Chains A and B, each alone.
Chain A
Amino acid sequence: MKSYLSPVVALLGSAALLAVTACSAGAGSSSGSGSPGATQSLAIGLVAEPASLDFTTTDGAAIPQALLGNVYNGLVKQDESGKIVPDLAKSWTLSPDRKTYTFTLVDNAKFSNGQAFTADDAVFSIDRVKTSWTTSLKAAMDVVQSAKAVSPTQLQVTLAKPSNDWLFRMTTRIGAMFSKTGVDKLATEPVGTGPYTFGSWKRGDSIVLQRNDDYWGTKPHFGQVTLKYFKDPTALNNALLTGTINVIGTVQAPEALSQFTSNDKYQVIEGTTNGEVLLSFNNSRPVLKDIRVRQAIRAAIDHKALLDTCWAGRGKLIGSMVPPTDPWYEDLTSAAPYDLPKAKSLLQAAGATGKTLRLRLPTLPYATSCGQVVKSQLEQAGLKVQIDQLEFPAAWLTAVLKNADYDMSIIAHVEPRDLGAVFNAKYYTRYDDPTLQQALAAADAGDEATQVAEMKKAAKRLSDQAAADWLFLLPNLMVADKDLKGLPQNAITESLDLSTLSR
């Protein structure tokens, strides 16, 4: 009997041993977060991990959130109040025909590969958006006719037509400045001029950034910042409660905030974002083509009650597609007040009472919870609502966004200044409105005052036409150690700026 038993046991035993040695051998090769050393370090808990580090070919907000403003600089950036301010460009002028921008660049910026930053790199970066980027955002660079270096610190960019939007887009990821000699391994080894350099990436866990000691601007306080990624909101909260992280970058479940507000070890920050949570309509559907139906839906929704129920009252009611940090913001919440009798009579007049609308929701926390409230409020006004959950992103993107196979949906549009992108005939809103397009074109071509006036017109038009219903603006909710300073109140840029943080 023994003669049979032992070989098998030996086999199993050696297999186990192999497994163990393989484990420890492999473990050595995957380097960890490293020791903080003499410098202070900080850990921030975030939700979405980047799929790659290359935002020129991979979409998603997580990559610029980690790298833009930290590893990469742009020529210009947006401050917390929404203003466009200098970054690698110290100053700039605009020609009278509003087509030629001349930028004066800082002369002491260096890439992390040792190369100096010059106007040539800026030209290279701008041209490269058109030639090598594959994400849809590259379209914002189409308006550029030519970019040329007048001197190492002078850059001239000529547009095909006047466009206010172009300079704004330069504050986003498409404005990031790359090194001519540092774009071979963007997905794994990003090279930029920023206050931090890329340290390491433990996939599925965290990204570590190291202070750039050669940084041309004010050097950041923290020597090392770890961005740690959590899929589960409870795990994120626990990580702060147990001291694994110092900041919750985005609170995922506002109803769980009380455990932090009642504890004086923590501070809670609440501000605004660019994330308009839309009850979007498919404006090409027969029922929703009728403006009376769309207006009825807006009147049937009690926005204050909805926000209290589904997002713990955190967030801002906006009434149109403009967040308060844009220069043309106006409070349009009174344009469509809650008015149930009006909603009922509008539906009756349109002959839509009793009609069934399909509300196709992505599997996102705010959409799932607010969808139920929307359903019950619309049913009080006399519509029937059929809720249909679609897995996000893949299933929702295909069914709703690509095929527009829906009547209504709920999704936050987090892109900055995205009014024109969201409301046009080609997008999933199928909103075809020449009046709106005229206002948008005039806004883009005119001077600052015209831009503000025309954008106000556009936002008003959308609200009056009830092209969608704006449920609320997502709040910027952060929780952090009490003594941490410099956290942004408003999260309106694509980047999570780490350089301003200190203790």
Chain B
Amino acid sequence: MLSDKSKKFTLIEISDEDVFEAMRSIQGYIDITPADFREVYKAAYGLAKMRFMQTLTAADIMTEGVHVLGENTSLYEAALFLAEKGITGAPVTDAQGKLSGVISEKDFMSCMGAEKRDSFMLIVARQLRDGKNLAENLNGRTVGDIMTAPAITISADTPVSRISSIMGEKNINRLPVLDSSGSLAGIVTRSDLISSFNMLGDGDA
């Protein structure tokens, strides 16, 4: 179901004691043992989770009305735009308005000399050590120059389980969603995904 790289989601283990207390709070004699109940609970929870993972799709959790950047936008403009919208990345479209890539903070950072997986703090440290303006590299370049292309996309009916494994495997934070005609319908970010998992942890359904 989930790739090995991503942490397996395990349900909260309930103890005999929990079940015993719950049984006590219910009026009447329930003729099963706490162990039986735990077994049923585990199996039922597994099925419910499976159903949840299969039936909830990109369409259910995506953000519509995506902020898009053009390939030819300067990086200065792009940075300003992302800051203004309070987002860390956006899909990129070409002159015809077709999705051509995705740009995010990571692309900016690697352009400023960060290796893959280097953090923003490393850039700060280098800047302070060398006193050289690292943002210099961004000058005069456009979104199209540094974006990640081609974009990894999903369709509106991609199940949540698949989305989380793609994000885990590719180590990315956002996935543009294409509708059946191939145009941009929305975007699913890691936080959209996390919000969808909130439903899983809720005991009082």
A binds B: no
B interface residues, Cβ below 8 angstroms from A? none
A interface residues, Cβ below 8 angstroms from B? none
